[in-house]
């Protein structure tokens, strides 16, 4: 399953990624970073790797991961 | 070397090209329009570019960009246009970029007149724009000297990474005199700081912003060291007959030529008169003024086409040891040798002829 | 069985790895990234020279991973002219806000565009002066309240907002003039294509390119980041239509 990672120190807790995620798998978490922002986290499964969160993140804090199928495996 | 008769404005343009300058950004203003016109004709012939900026404000900023990219560049203007350029010159000095700027001074303030003047001395020698900085200022008195100083200006600008101002006036710009261009290859300077594209190195940033006050202070101190070095290494002055002089004239540019004629007439009257002709107005030839012997020199007469600007520096550097007097005409009026003779005789307490 | 996950979206090489000083939710971050993606995609990073403005993005040179110069307020197109004329092999771009480009720098942008300087201009339009605390801009909307239009912009007093993309598209020299927006992922993807096209045309030495990006200023507008995106979509896109006002091959441009 695809998933995302948010760099806690880059995130400013603006909430845009949360608002655009079509699967609602993101939220602003309980923890704060050194600047005092509640940074965003993926709190449940269901990410489809659409990259809309990453496209809208003003701080380029999100990396989107997708598993790559092993060679020879059926698509 | 061949001597050719050239108008001052055109000669300085050709001097820039001989110094390896291939880019000129400027805006027309009387009395120096022949400079951009000459550059617009000559630069394409030598593979360079002439761009007429939409204003002097734009032009000086084009200089910033081009110099920041490590390329020799020049502009020219006259007093009101130079005022418009002050923002850009301050930025250029802060970012430590080499540029050459020619000011053919005209009467001011405001729109003023189009005849020659020397009323931009303060503006030229005190930085001119905001902040603690100076531009080197070179003041030619003949078209030949203008050519040599413009060629040197590019090397000095690169040596110090600083703007260099060549201060002329409408007379030097308009008159025609025989000129020989020194045959020499333009000096090459390494510019590892320039924005040429960051291939193979860390990116370069050309800027003058330093928000941290301690960093900005340190930067300013570094700039000051530059100006101290200019004072040690690159002062230029011409002195005439100072040995045994009882009266010393101090003048630069066109006014110095008026003074030379006045000196001949004064010598006929038995006055022992000498001349200090600053060629660098910044750095000012302090030591030459300080070396005058108060037991021998009765007074210094500063002559300017203004109401008294360089005279303040003369007073500053004589430190009260010798009386300093001033004579000036302004608004575009050029002092005559007879007027200078009259002033000297008046201060000597002698009979003056009408 | 599947291999370990690989990143399919990450920070472009043309952006440095450091946090920005921009407000939470400020779309400068998105705009910076689109420029960086274009430079990466077209392999232009090592030839690029950016010109930073005066405004919130005055420190843009700290965020991009290429050569940069910092201009006086409004003068970036003049610096860019000097850089490109002096070093025609570089890829030169300016990045400017409302005050920098449409107010104090109006002469410089019109004339650089009119001369057809082979540079790319990225214009961040958020209808306000952000850095100085939220004053009115030439692009501030009618009725919009700012710190210097506390009763709302009154066109009877100071005129209507300026549409820069349309204005520049009436000039003959520019080859690509477009306005895009950064308010939704779909709009950002369109904007990405436009920014890339603008740089591609410069790399092919075609001429002057201009991309206006409708943006937000949550702090200046007094809205949350998400509310600001909504306001932008509703109000900004209404007055400032998106589109390509000039494309390569067109002599005449103008509002369509």
* Domain range summary for chain B, segments of one domain joined by +: 4-233, 237-348
Q: Smallest Cα–Cα separation from B151: which of B190, B116, B121, B179?
A: B179
- What residues are paired with B179 via a beta bridge? B4
Q: How far apart are CA A73 and CA C55, in angstroms?
A: 53
Q: What is the pTM of this model?
A: 0.94
* Residue C16 falls inside a structural domain: no
SS3 B272: coil
**B202 to chain C nearest CA, in Å?**
8
> What per-residue confidence (pLDDT) applies to A66?
94
Q: Which CATH class is domain A3-65?
A: alpha beta
**A44 to chain C nearest CA, in Å?**
17
Q: Which residues of C touch B91 (CB under 8 A)?
A: 72
CATH code, domain with C123: 3.40.50.970
Indicate yes or no: CB of C30 within 8 angstroms of CB of A55: yes
* Confidence tier at C256 by pLDDT (50, 70, 90): very low
Indicate yes or no: CB of B58 within 8 angstroms of CB of C111: yes
Indicate yes or no: CB of C5 within 8 angstroms of CB of A12: no
Indicate yes or no: CB of C29 within 8 angstroms of CB of A57: yes
Mean pLDDT along residues A51-62 = 97
Chain B touching partners, 3 or more CB pairs below 8 A: C
- How many contacts (CB atoms, under 8 Å) link B and C? 140
Chain A touching partners, 3 or more CB pairs below 8 A: C
C249 burial level (CB within 10 Å; 0-12, 13-18, 19+): exposed
- Answer for the pair B345, B339: CB distance below 8 angstroms, yes or no: no
Question: What residue of C is the nearest CA neighbor of B205?
Answer: C68
Domain span at C137: 28-246
Q: Smallest Cα–Cα separation from B335: which of B310, B313, B302?
A: B302
| Domain range annotation of chain A | 3-65
> What per-residue confidence (pLDDT) applies to C5?
87
Nearest by CB: C107 against B54, B65, B198: B54
Nearest by CB: C65 against B23, B73, B203: B203
The rounded radius of gyration (Å) of the Cα atoms in chain C is: 18
Q: Could you read off the pLDDT tens digit of each residue along chain B, which spans 354 residues?
A: 689 999 999 999 999 999 999 999 999 999 999 999 999 999 999 999 999 999 999 999 999 999 999 999 999 999 999 999 999 999 999 999 999 999 999 999 999 999 999 999 999 999 999 999 999 999 999 999 999 999 999 999 999 999 999 999 999 999 999 999 999 899 999 999 999 999 999 999 999 999 999 999 999 999 999 999 999 999 999 999 999 999 999 999 999 999 999 999 999 999 999 999 999 999 999 999 999 999 999 999 999 999 999 999 999 999 999 999 999 999 999 999 999 999 999 999 975 555
**Residues 6+ away with beta carbon under 8 Å from B217:** none
The dihedral over CA atoms of B191, B195, B201, B207, expressed in degrees to the nearest 10, equals 90
> What per-residue confidence (pLDDT) applies to B2?
86
SS3 C246: strand
Q: How far is CA C201 from CA A37, B65, B133, C251, in A?
A: 40, 22, 41, 16
* Residue C9 falls inside a structural domain: no
Question: Which CATH number applies to B237-348?
Answer: 3.40.50.920
B61 burial level (CB within 10 Å; 0-12, 13-18, 19+): buried
Q: Which residues of C touch A60 (CB under 8 A)?
A: 11-12, 15, 29, 33
Indicate yes or no: CB of B69 within 8 angstroms of CB of C83: yes
Indicate yes or no: CB of B87 within 8 angstroms of CB of C68: no
**C48 to chain B nearest CA, in Å?**
5
SS3 B334: coil
**B282 to chain C nearest CA, in Å?**
26
**C173 to chain A nearest CA, in Å?**
33
Cβ count within 10 A of residue B271: 18
Q: Which residues of C touch A34 (CB under 8 A)?
A: none
Phi, psi values for residue B197, rounded to 5°: 100, 130
Q: Which residues of C touch B25 (CB under 8 A)?
A: 81-82, 85
Phi, psi values for residue B6, rounded to 5°: -140, 150
Mean pLDDT along residues C169-182 = 98
Indicate yes or no: CB of A63 within 8 angstroms of CB of C9: yes
Indicate yes or no: CB of C185 within 8 angstroms of CB of A20: yes
Indicate yes or no: CB of C1 within 8 angstroms of CB of A55: no
pLDDT over 60 at C215, yes or no: yes
Q: How far apart are CA B12 and CA B34, in angstroms?
A: 10
Q: Where are the alpha helices (DSSP H) in chain C?
A: 28-41, 76-86, 98, 106-115, 155-158, 164-169, 185-203, 218-221, 225-231, 237-239
**Residues 6+ away with beta carbon under 8 Å from B22:** B43, B46, B47, B48, B49, B71, B72
> What per-residue confidence (pLDDT) applies to B106?
96
Nearest by CB: A67 against C2, C19, C26: C2
- How many contacts (CB atoms, under 8 Å) link A and C? 95
C73 burial level (CB within 10 Å; 0-12, 13-18, 19+): middle
Three-class SS string for C116-135?
CCCCEEEEEECCCECCCCCE
**B4-233 and B237-348 agree in CATH topology:** yes
Mean pLDDT along residues C29-45 = 98
Q: Which residues of A touch C4 (CB under 8 A)?
A: 67-68
> What per-residue confidence (pLDDT) applies to A33?
97
Q: Where are the alpha helices (DSSP H) in B190-299?
A: 213-233, 254-268, 286-290
> What per-residue confidence (pLDDT) applies to B352?
59
**C25 to chain B nearest CA, in Å?**
24
- Answer for the pair B77, B30: CB distance below 8 angstroms, yes or no: no
* Pairing mode of beta strands B176-179, B4-7: antiparallel
Indicate yes or no: CB of B208 within 8 angstroms of CB of C70: yes
Q: Which residues of A touch C223 (CB under 8 A)?
A: none
Indicate yes or no: CB of C58 within 8 angstroms of CB of B87: no
Q: Which residues of C touch B195 (CB under 8 A)?
A: 49, 67-69, 83, 87, 90
Q: How far apart are CA C111 and CA C115, in angstroms?
A: 6
Task: Give the DSSP H or E segment for B101.
Answer: strand B99-105
Indicate yes or no: CB of C6 within 8 angstroms of CB of A68: yes
Task: Give the DSSP H or E segment for A66.
Answer: strand A62-69
Indicate yes or no: CB of B197 within 8 angstroms of CB of C85: no
Nearest by CB: C226 against A9, A15, A57: A15
SS3 A46: coil
b vs e for C38-68, b when ≥16 Cβ sit within 10 Å of the residue's Cβ? bbbebebbbbbbbbbbbbbbbebbebbbbbb
Three-class SS string for B111-127?
CCCCCECCCCHHHHHCC
In chain B, count of helices (H) and strands (E)?
Answer: 12, 15
Question: CB contact, 8 Å: B215 with chain C?
Answer: no
* Residue C139 falls inside a structural domain: yes
- Answer for the pair C114, C75: CB distance below 8 angstroms, yes or no: no
- Tallying the residues shown for chain A, one arrives at 75
Q: Which residues of B touch C18 (CB under 8 A)?
A: none
**Which of B66, B99, B197 is most worth mutating to test chain C (most C CB atoms within 10 A of its CB)?**
B197
* Confidence tier at C254 by pLDDT (50, 70, 90): low
Q: Smallest Cα–Cα separation from C68: which of C24, C123, C16?
A: C16
B with A: touching (≥3 Cβ pairs within 8 Å): no
Indicate if the alpha-carbon torsion angle B2, B7, B8, B14 is positive or negative.
Answer: negative
**C93 to chain B nearest CA, in Å?**
12
Q: What CATH superfamily classification does B4-233 receive?
A: Thiamin diphosphate (ThDP)-binding fold, Pyr/PP domains (3.40.50.970)
Q: Smallest Cα–Cα separation from B326: which of B298, B344, B297, B301?
A: B301
Indicate if the alpha-carbon torsion angle B47, B53, B58, B60 is positive or negative.
Answer: positive
**C114 to chain B nearest CA, in Å?**
11
* Strands of B280-282's sheet in order across: B49-52, B23-26, B73-77, B99-105, B163-169, B136-138, B280-282
């Amino acid at each position: 399953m695809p998933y995302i990672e948010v760099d806690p120190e880059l995130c400013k807790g603006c909430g845009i990624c949360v608002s655009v995620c079509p699967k609602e798998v993101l939220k602003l978490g309980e923890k704060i970073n050194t600047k005092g922002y509640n940074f965003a986290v993926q709190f449940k499964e269901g990410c489809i790797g659409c990259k809309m969160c990453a496209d809208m993140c003003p701080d380029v804090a999100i990396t989107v991961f997708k598993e790559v199928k092993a060679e020879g495996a059926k698509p | 070397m061949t001597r050719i008769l050239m108008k001052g404005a055109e000669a300085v343009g050709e001097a820039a090209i001989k110094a390896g300058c291939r880019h000129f950004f400027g805006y027309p203003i009387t009395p120096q329009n022949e400079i951009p016109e000459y550059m617009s004709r000559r630069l394409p012939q030598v593979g360079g570019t002439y761009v007429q900026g939409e204003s002097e404000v734009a032009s000086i900023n084009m200089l910033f960009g081009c110099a920041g990219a490590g390329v020799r560049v020049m502009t020219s203007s006259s007093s009101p246009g130079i005022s418009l350029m002050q923002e850009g010159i301050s930025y250029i000095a802060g970012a430590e970029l080499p540029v050459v700027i020619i000011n053919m001074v005209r009467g001011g303030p405001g729109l003023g007149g189009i005849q020659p003047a020397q009323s931009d001395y303060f503006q030229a020698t005190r930085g001119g724009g905001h902040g603690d900085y100076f531009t080197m200022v070179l003041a030619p008195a003949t078209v030949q000297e203008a050519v040599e100083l413009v060629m040197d200006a590019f090397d000095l600008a690169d040596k110090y990474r600083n703007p260099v101002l060549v201060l002329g006036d409408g007379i030097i710009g308009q008159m025609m005199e025989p000129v020989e261009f020194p045959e020499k290859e333009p000096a090459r300077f390494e510019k590892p700081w320039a924005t040429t594209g960051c291939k193979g190195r860390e990116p370069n940033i050309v800027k003058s912003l330093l928000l941290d006050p301690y960093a900005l202070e340190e930067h300013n101190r570094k700039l000051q060291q530059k100006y101290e070095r200019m004072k040690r290494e690159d002062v230029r002055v011409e002195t005439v007959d100072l040995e045994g002089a009882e009266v010393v004239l101090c003048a630069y540019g066109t006014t110095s030529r008026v003074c030379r004629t006045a000196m001949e007439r004064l010598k006929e009257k038995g006055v022992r008169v000498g001349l200090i002709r600053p060629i660098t107005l910044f750095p000012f030839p302090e030591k030459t003024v300080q070396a005058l012997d108060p037991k021998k020199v009765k007074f210094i007469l500063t002559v300017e086409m203004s109401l008294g600007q360089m005279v303040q520096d003369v007073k500053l550097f004589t430190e009260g040891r010798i009386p300093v007097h001033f004579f000036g005409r302004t608004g575009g009026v050029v002092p005559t040798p007879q007027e200078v003779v009259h002033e000297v005789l008046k201060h000597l307490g002698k009979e003056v002829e009408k | 069985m599947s291999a370990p996950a690989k990143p399919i979206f990450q920070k472009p090489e043309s952006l440095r790895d450091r946090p920005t000083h921009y407000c939470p939710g400020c779309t400068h971050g998105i705009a910076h990234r689109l420029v960086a993606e274009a430079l990466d995609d077209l392999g232009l990073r090592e030839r690029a020279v950016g010109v930073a403005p005066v405004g919130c993005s005055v420190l843009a040179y700290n965020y991009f991973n290429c050569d940069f110069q910092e201009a006086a307020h409004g003068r970036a197109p003049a610096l860019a002219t000097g850089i490109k004329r002096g070093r025609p092999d570089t890829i030169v771009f300016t990045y400017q806000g409302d005050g920098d480009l449409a107010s104090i720098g109006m002469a410089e942008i019109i004339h650089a565009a009119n001369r057809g300087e082979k540079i790319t201009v990225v214009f961040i339009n958020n209808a306000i002066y952000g850095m100085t605390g939220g004053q009115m801009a030439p692009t501030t909307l009618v009725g919009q309240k700012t710190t210097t239009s506390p009763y709302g912009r009154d066109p009877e007093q100071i005129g209507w907002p300026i549409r820069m993309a349309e204005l520049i598209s009436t000039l003959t020299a520019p080859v690509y003039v477009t306005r895009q927006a950064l308010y939704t992922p779909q709009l950002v993807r369109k904007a990405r294509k436009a920014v890339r096209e603008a740089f591609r045309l410069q790399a092919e030495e075609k001429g002057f390119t201009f991309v206006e990006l409708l943006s937000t200023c949550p702090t200046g507008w007094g809205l949350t980041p998400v509310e600001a995106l909504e306001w932008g979509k509703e109000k900004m896109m209404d007055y400032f239509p998106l589109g390509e006002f000039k494309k390569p091959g067109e002599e005449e441009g103008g509002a369509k």
